């Protein structure tokens, strides 16, 4: 069964908007919590995601992002040049 391309095209802006919210939350948390303990980075990221209205993120993704922020790692959502 082939996918309806119109449904796909309708979903793209919704997905893009959600990803932008996640990126803002990660950037904000990275700016304020880089190098801090995992628990603090995780809590701050969870709150930032909630503030952005992007709570629906896979828990393992939130944990990995918090770990990267805590360790000071620059990942895909890190500073842009």
34-47 pLDDT, tens per residue? 999 999 999 999 99
| Residue that the structure tokens 């895909």 belong to | 76
Q: How many CB atoms lie within 10 A of CB 46?
A: 17
Question: For residue 5, what pLDDT is reported?
Answer: 83
More confident residue, 2 or 80: 2
Does the pLDDT value for residue 64 go beyond 80? yes
The reported pTM is 0.81
* Secondary-structure percent of the chain, ordered helix, strand, coil, rounded to 5: 70, 0, 30
pLDDT band at residue 79, thresholds of 50, 70 and 90?
very low
Q: What is the pLDDT of residue 76?
A: 55
* Burial of 50 per CB tally in 10 Å (0-12, 13-18, 19+): exposed
38-44 long-range contacts (CB < 8 A, ≥24 apart) are 38/66, 38/67, 38/70, 40/70, 41/66, 41/67, 41/69, 41/70, 42/66, 42/70
């Amino acid at each position: 069964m082939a996918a309806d391309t119109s449904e796909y095209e309708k979903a793209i802006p919704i997905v893009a908007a959600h990803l932008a919210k996640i990126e803002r939350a990660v950037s904000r948390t990275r700016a304020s919590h880089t190098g801090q303990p995992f628990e603090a980075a995780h809590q701050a990221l969870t709150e930032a995601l909630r503030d952005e209205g992007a709570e629906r993120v896979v828990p393992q993704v939130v944990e990995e992002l918090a770990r990267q922020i805590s360790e000071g790692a620059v990942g895909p959502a890190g500073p842009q040049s």
